[in-house]
Chains A and B, each alone.
Chain A
Amino acid sequence: MADALPQHPDFLWRNPEPRASYDAVIVGGGGHGLATAYYLAVNHGITNTAVLEKGWLAGGNMARNTAIIRSNYLWDESAAIYEHSLKLWEELPAALDYDFLFSQRGVMNLAHTLGDVREGTRRVGANVLNGVDAEWLDPQQVKELCPIINVADDLRYPVMGATYQPRGGIAKHDHVAWALARQCDAMGVYIIQNCEVEGFLTAGDRVTGVETNRGRIATGTVGMAVAGDSWDLAQSAGIRLPIQSHPLQALVSELFEPVHPTVVMSNHVHVYVSQAHKGELVMGAGVDGYTGFGRRGSFHIIEEQLAAAVELFPIFARAHVLRTWGGIVDVTLDASPIISPTPLDGFYVNAGWGTGGFKGTPASGYTFAHTIATGSPHPLNAPFTLDRFETGHLIDEHGAAGVAH
């Protein structure tokens, strides 16, 4: 088997009853909500906070993603926030005193067409200018870093090169959530599971509390981080979001000896693959084409990504799919997140991370905490507010990054 997993700490967090009021309420106990509560406490001294989770802690997309971390985005605004996130990832295992298996094993984005090559080399140049580690690899260098990949030129879409970010990698996502939750709890934050927010209380243009299935909680400050449900929940506060929810699927194989030393992503044949510490091959692809909340998608998405994976990695042909699952992701028109104040005073939204929110978890929490604590965005998330849909200053990563998120 692969690496042994570290032991859990003896104690992670309390399960307290909700109090009648808090200085701030974070709706959503996933990675982004927990990171927000963590940075509210650490950076802004705000600890009279509750994190309300409708199910169990980190049972949504935080437990469903493929755990890939990278910062090699094309546009300056994206590179800045994701690179900040990567630097926070590099600090967090020590800061949280928890080994959540952050492994900087590198991330490759393969090129299969001349267009891919041009896009990739352009992005490497942009990354270097933004201080993001990035290299261009030729097919032989791809093969040296990842020996199981097929770089023969008789494939329908041969590997013509790749961008490579050595500092990218993976982390064990559930442990990340537990690490954050443990520190939040230690600083006095209330983590309240099975507490579903059903609506918001307002007075004039201000939020004054939340209505939950466990009673009413008064607060003048609400931060919402509920990927998948963002549109619906914001709507109940009278805030309309430019978000469409799509199913996104992932899958794992049974456990194998370590065969895959890095992370390989291909947008053109559309699959991304890494091997978890436990030994499963972890794969994902794109969202299902329709909007939906069913937490399941269509089987052809699985079929197509496996076809792509087997062509790229012939060794996978004998592997079996152990599990497939779906989560619901918020997709914006420009494939960039929204971390923003709203027209409702005291009500802040953190949404629209699309298919790539896991890597952004630390910076999301860091900038959202700043936005909540000060009432205005941090320079890193100022480009990511709702205003951009009116000013037209979109951060169009759909086409620009050219990669699956």
Chain B
Amino acid sequence: MLLIECPYCGPRDETEYRHGGQAHVPYPADPEALSDREWAEYLFYRDNPRGMLAERWLHTAGCRRWFNTIRDTETYEISAVYPIGAPRPDTAAEAPPGSAAALSPAHHAKGDPAARAIASSGSHARTATAHTAPASAGSPAGGSAAGDPAAPGESPASHPTSEGDER
């Protein structure tokens, strides 16, 4: 049983949450420009590393808000919790002591041409050079994390437009 710290409600059992898969996969900025291969990438291909993974959770049995975590997929340790819309905290600054090395993005060094292709088309990059958007638009958690002292990371006032779209 994972103990997951909801940024809004505090630590709760895993059974209160729904796992939402990889974080930071925004809707393509220019959908009509995508090839079939790029659509396949957006719809069906997600990172699945051994090690640190940025992923989303929905607190279904609590506040019903979305948030992100960084979790080690081998030890299941959660080393960061941050709001939807905030950039991935890849630096040690926001991680607990001792996990700095583990947070290095080594697992993401392995490239995949298709993902890069989409990224280079201008629609997405892992650490979200965020399109500016109204805080309430396009995100179920839109703006709700702003000013919440429990939520680490930056204010989500600026975030990818489609971050938080759910399947």
Residues of A within 8 A of B (CB): 231-232, 235-236, 238, 240-245, 289-294, 298-300, 332-333, 389-391
State whether A292 touches B45 (Cβ < 8 A): no
Of B23-31, B71-79, B129-137, B158-166, the stretch lying at the interface with chain A is: B71-79
State whether A390 touches B53 (Cβ < 8 A): no
A236: which B residues are within 8 A, CB to CB? Answer: 110
**Given pairs A293-B50, A390-B40, 15 additional interface contacts (CB within 8 A):** A231-B49, A238-B111, A238-B113, A240-B112, A241-B48, A242-B40, A242-B46, A244-B46, A289-B14, A291-B21, A291-B53, A294-B73, A298-B2, A389-B43, A389-B44
State whether A389 touches B40 (Cβ < 8 A): yes
Residue of B nearest to A300 (CB): B15
CA distance A349 to B17 in the complex (A): 33
CA distance A241 to B71 in the complex (A): 21
CA distance A235 to B112 in the complex (A): 8
A242: which B residues are within 8 A, CB to CB? Answer: 40, 44-46
B32: which A residues are within 8 A, CB to CB? Answer: none
Q: Output the least CB separation between A342 and chain B (Å).
A: 13
Decide yes or no: A240 and B115 within 8 Å by CB, A232-B49, A333-B43, A333-B44 being known contacts.
Answer: yes
CA distance A180 to B167 in the complex (A): 41
Number of A-B contacts (CB under 8 A): 74
Quick one: which of A232, A290, A390 has the most chain B CB within 10 A? A290
A293: which B residues are within 8 A, CB to CB? Answer: 50, 73-74
> Which 8 pairs, one residue from A and one from B, show the smallest C-beta to C-beta distance?
A231-B48, A242-B44, A240-B112, A389-B40, A390-B36, A390-B40, A289-B19, A290-B19
State whether A235 touches B110 (Cβ < 8 A): yes
Q: Output the least CB separation between A382 and chain B (Å).
A: 18
Which residues of B3-35 are within 8 A (CB) of A? Answer: 13-15, 17-19, 21
CA distance A294 to B50 in the complex (A): 9
Q: Output the least CB separation between B154 and chain A (Å).
A: 25
A231: which B residues are within 8 A, CB to CB? Answer: 48-49
A245: which B residues are within 8 A, CB to CB? Answer: 48, 73
Residues of B within 8 A of A (CB): 1-2, 13-15, 17-19, 21, 36-37, 39-41, 43-46, 48-50, 53, 55, 71, 73-76, 110-115
Residue of A nearest to B38 (CB): A390
Decide yes or no: A390 and B1 within 8 Å by CB, A291-B53, A292-B73, A333-B44 being known contacts.
Answer: no
A241: which B residues are within 8 A, CB to CB? Answer: 45, 48
CA distance A278 to B4 in the complex (A): 40
Residue of A nearest to B112 (CB): A240
Quick one: which of A238, A241, A291, A391 has the most chain B CB within 10 A? A291
Decide yes or no: A243 and B2 within 8 Å by CB, A292-B74, A300-B14, A391-B36 being known contacts.
Answer: no
Decide yes or no: A244 and B36 within 8 Å by CB, A294-B75, A298-B1 being known contacts.
Answer: no
CA distance A389 to B37 in the complex (A): 8
Q: Output the least CB separation between A326 and chain B (Å).
A: 12
Decide yes or no: A291 and B73 within 8 Å by CB, A236-B110, A390-B36 being known contacts.
Answer: yes
Decide yes or no: A294 and B74 within 8 Å by CB, A240-B115, A300-B14 being known contacts.
Answer: yes
Q: Output the least CB separation between A242 and chain B (Å).
A: 4
Q: Output the least CB separation between B123 and chain A (Å).
A: 17
State whether B74 touches A290 (Cβ < 8 A): no
CA distance A224 to B7 in the complex (A): 41
Quick one: which of A238, A240, A243 has the most chain B CB within 10 A? A240
CA distance A235 to B46 in the complex (A): 12
CA distance A390 to B110 in the complex (A): 22
Residue from A238, A291, A300, A390 within 8 A of B48 (CB atoms)? A291
Q: Output the least CB separation between B96 and chain A (Å).
A: 19
State whether B19 touches A291 (Cβ < 8 A): yes
Q: Output the least CB separation between B50 and chain A (Å).
A: 5
Q: 29 A-B Cβ contacts within 8 A? A: A231-B48, A231-B49, A235-B110, A238-B112, A238-B113, A240-B41, A240-B112, A242-B40, A242-B44, A289-B14, A289-B18, A290-B76, A291-B19, A291-B48, A291-B73, A293-B50, A293-B73, A294-B73, A294-B76, A298-B2, A299-B1, A300-B13, A332-B44, A333-B43, A389-B40, A389-B43, A389-B44, A389-B45, A390-B37
Residue from B1, B41, B110 within 8 A of A300 (CB atoms)? B1
B110: which A residues are within 8 A, CB to CB? Answer: 235-236
Residue of A nearest to B17 (CB): A289
CA distance A107 to B55 in the complex (A): 37
